[in-house]
Amino acid sequence: MTARIEDYALIGDCETAALVSREGSIDWLCFPRFDSPASFAALLGTPENGRWRIAPTDRNARSSRRYRPDTLILETTFETDHGSAMLIDFMPLRDNSNDLARIVIGLTGKVDFTTDFVARFDYGRTVPWVSQTEDGAIVAVAGPDRLVLRTPVPLQGADLHTAGSFSVSAGERVPFLLTYTASHLPIMASRDVETALADTENFWHEFASRCPPVGRYTETVKRSLITLKALTYMPTGGIVAAATTSLPEQIGGTRNWDYRYCWLRDATMTLQAFMKLGYYEEASAWREWLMRAIAGAPEQMQIMYGVSGERNLLEWEPRWLQGFENSRPVRIGNAAAEQFQLDVYGEVADAMLQAAMGGMPRHPRTRALSEVILPYLQSAWRRPDEGIWEVRGGAQHFTHSKVMAWVAFDRAATMSAQTGDRPDFVERCRAIADEIHQDVCQKAFDPALDSFVQAYGSKTIDASLLLLPLVGFLPADDPRVTGTVKAIEDTLLHHGLAHRYHTDRVDDGLPPGEGTFLVCSFWLADVYTLQNRYGDARRLYERLQSLCNDVGLLSEEYDPVAGRMLGNFPQAFSHIGLINTALNLARSSGPAEERAEAAGEAPKESEPV
Ligand SMILES: OC[C@H]1O[C@H](O[C@H]2O[C@H](CO)[C@@H](O)[C@H](O)[C@H]2O)[C@H](O)[C@@H](O)[C@@H]1O
């Protein structure tokens, strides 16, 4: 594949998503859910692993693209020496059928097009039987899956591809509709593509119209909001971390992971972003998802789940895929689901408090949840864990994890104190929170480095330490925090963007090397805001904003030297950063202040615990 990550745009129907290249090729599509086996997997292999291209025959055609304003409808305009034409790509919201629609519209002169449809089920491995119905529909079937392609354009099969040519003159419109169904069901009647376009446009307009202005960042925020909505599995309210698997964190490297699942950690920030923009319906749907997903014994609570709350996310490698630019292995599923990551308890507690502070009615299970989880956590916080970065090199006493355990008790105390009905519970939570606070301040601060460190006894600086002031563990102007921020600036910034940690100095169980991790730079900008370093915050935010591709999307990581995106795409974490940090900058009191202020008063180290 020659396309880079930033060459792709996202389309989706809030149940699954597809990536479309600048050249009009859909190189990634999983039907019917985000985490279903891909039907087009060329993104991670070759065109023979499945793709659907509609592009001018003239290989020298110039292309430009945009989303139709306030929608997820992609418009790619091609210009040739003989005319210009637009390709519209979108996925209508589900109406008993799973569709992807494409319309080619002649703008000026006449443009010749070719289309090449290569369906391969099971992540590019399974070649289907392809036949044509009497009314001309192309039907591709293998095992449980079936794709039906309808268009007035005559199509022929050759060499396991289905191809055709056509021309559009100014004013002409040529529709294509691809429908997925389980192969045992009857083939359904086609839906009208133009009506579907109008309905899809209305859906996104209605959604985006509720977004309040965020000063000069309004368009960036709106695009990120639409992207987060597109990453939401609407039937359940779960939110996937990204639309893809295995886009590499280093070109040619092995840090390739499946992000088509719901992380509890990523969710607190998503909840904040939705609520701060007034999207309570989405926030409430996510909270319901969370309560269903984590129901059960606290020691069985996972750090991530499938979009419907599935727990078994078994990791495996489809060895027939060569990987994005030969970045192997490709991984399906995610073994991190089985890790112990202490911070998720704090994330859940924080999400509950944020929801209450945002004005959402208290969830009826909030109290039951705290009564089950906190007694477990009372001893569990002392255990080493795999941490926010999900290391595969063994558990450690990660500083960020302990701090988030403190968050769990701190928020539980705050919430219970608000209801006033359990003073003994509040007192117990506060005492444990104080004990954790003291433990962290004693064991995780290195006076020689004048900084908190990644784990107890370590000498490594870690960008997750930026979350200490952001969750209210210590004030942003505490000398230990200002020392830590300086250490992060001195050691983790690479061309002005933050790495998570030094992968070459820490054994995380993987070969070293990766890009800068974008959400960490957003956290840095948020800390600058808390420290009244508004100029630094704004400059960093606008740098990050400038890294978005031409349609406003960000991946997980960025290589500032090669000037290219890395990691899964588009990633919710990065878009949450684009929203939250914009709000922090645009409002005198944004999410950073409110999350920090949610914390009860942190004890002084000399205070008894
Ligand atoms: O690189 C190591 C780990 O990377 C993934 O996790 C990262 O993405 C998550 C989802 O956005 C995020 O919650 C986490 O903090 C990040 O480290 C991957 O899923 C892991 O399996 C992998 O070990």
Phi, psi of 116 (to 5 degrees): -130, 115
443 with 429, same domain: the answer is: yes
Beta bridge partners of 173: 105
The domain boundary residue, chosen from 157, 176, 206:
206
Pocket test for ligand 1, best of 228, 389, 502, 519 (most atoms within 8 A of CB): 389
160 with 261, same domain: the answer is: no
198 with 231, same domain: the answer is: no
Our answer on whether the CB atom of 392 is closer than 6 Å to any ligand 1 atom is yes
Our answer on whether the CB atom of 406 is closer than 6 Å to any ligand 1 atom is no
Our answer on whether the CB atom of 259 is closer than 6 Å to any ligand 1 atom is yes
Q: Tell me, what CATH number does 19's domain have?
A: 2.70.98.10
Q: Which atom of ligand 1 approaches the CA of 304 most closely?
A: 13
Q: Tell me, what CATH number does 248's domain have?
A: 1.50.10.10
Q: Which atom of ligand 1 approaches the CA of 303 most closely?
A: 13
179 with 225, same domain: the answer is: no
Asked whether residue 605 is domain-assigned, the answer is no
Our answer on whether the CB atom of 334 is closer than 6 Å to any ligand 1 atom is yes
Our answer on whether the CB atom of 336 is closer than 6 Å to any ligand 1 atom is yes
Asked whether residue 30 is domain-assigned, the answer is yes
CA of 390 to the centre of ligand 1 (A): 6
- The per-residue pLDDT for 372 is 84
The domain boundary residue, chosen from 206, 240, 258:
206
497 with 574, same domain: the answer is: yes
Cβ-Cβ contacts under 8 Å for 11 (sequence gap 6 or more): 17, 18, 20, 72, 73, 74, 89, 90, 91, 100
Q: Are 477 and 413 in contact (CB under 8 A)?
A: no
Asked whether residue 609 is domain-assigned, the answer is no
Asked whether residue 477 is domain-assigned, the answer is yes
What whole-number distance in Å separates Cα of residue 237 and Cα of residue 280?
12
228 with 348, same domain: the answer is: yes
Our answer on whether the CB atom of 265 is closer than 6 Å to any ligand 1 atom is yes
CA of 284 to the centre of ligand 1 (A): 25
Asked whether residue 604 is domain-assigned, the answer is no
Asked whether residue 220 is domain-assigned, the answer is yes
Number of domains in the chain: 2
CA of 403 to the centre of ligand 1 (A): 19
104 with 43, same domain: the answer is: yes
Our answer on whether the CB atom of 389 is closer than 6 Å to any ligand 1 atom is yes
- pTM for this entry: 0.95
Asked whether residue 123 is domain-assigned, the answer is yes
- The per-residue pLDDT for 597 is 64
307 with 429, same domain: the answer is: yes
143 with 254, same domain: the answer is: no
CB environment 86-105: b (16+ within 10 A), e (fewer): bbbbbbbbeeebbbbbbbbb
Nearest residue (by CA) to ligand 1, atom 23, is 390
Asked whether residue 398 is domain-assigned, the answer is yes
- The per-residue pLDDT for 591 is 64
Our answer on whether the CB atom of 261 is closer than 6 Å to any ligand 1 atom is no
Our answer on whether the CB atom of 506 is closer than 6 Å to any ligand 1 atom is no
Q: Which atom of ligand 1 approaches the CA of 258 most closely?
A: 19
221 with 171, same domain: the answer is: no
- Output the DSSP codes for 219-280: HHHHHHHHHHHHTEETTTTEE-SBS-B---SSTT-S---B--SEEHHHHHHHHHHHHHTT-H
Q: Are 463 and 499 in contact (CB under 8 A)?
A: yes
Our answer on whether the CB atom of 573 is closer than 6 Å to any ligand 1 atom is yes
Q: With H, G, I as helix, E, B as strand and everything else as coil, classify residue 309.
A: coil
164 with 294, same domain: the answer is: no
CA of 259 to the centre of ligand 1 (A): 8
Q: How many residues does the chain have?
A: 609
H or E element, residue 8:
strand 8-12
What whole-number distance in Å separates Cα of residue 16 and Cα of residue 307?
11
Which residues span the domain enclosing 43?
A: 5-184+192-206
- Between the alpha carbon of residue 547 and those of residues 72, 138, 302, 527, 550, the distances in Å are 20, 40, 33, 20, 9
Q: Which atom of ligand 1 approaches the CA of 336 most closely?
A: 21
Q: Tokens representing 463?
A: 């960008």
Q: Which atom of ligand 1 approaches the CA of 265 most closely?
A: 13
The domain boundary residue, chosen from 148, 171, 206:
206
Nearest residue (by CA) to ligand 1, atom 16, is 389
CA of 529 to the centre of ligand 1 (A): 26
Intervals of the chain under pLDDT 50: 1, 588-589, 601-609
| Closest to 366 measured CA to CA, from 309, 425, 428, 454 | 425
Q: Which atom of ligand 1 approaches the CA of 388 most closely?
A: 15
Q: Are 569 and 242 in contact (CB under 8 A)?
A: yes
Our answer on whether the CB atom of 388 is closer than 6 Å to any ligand 1 atom is yes
320 with 305, same domain: the answer is: yes
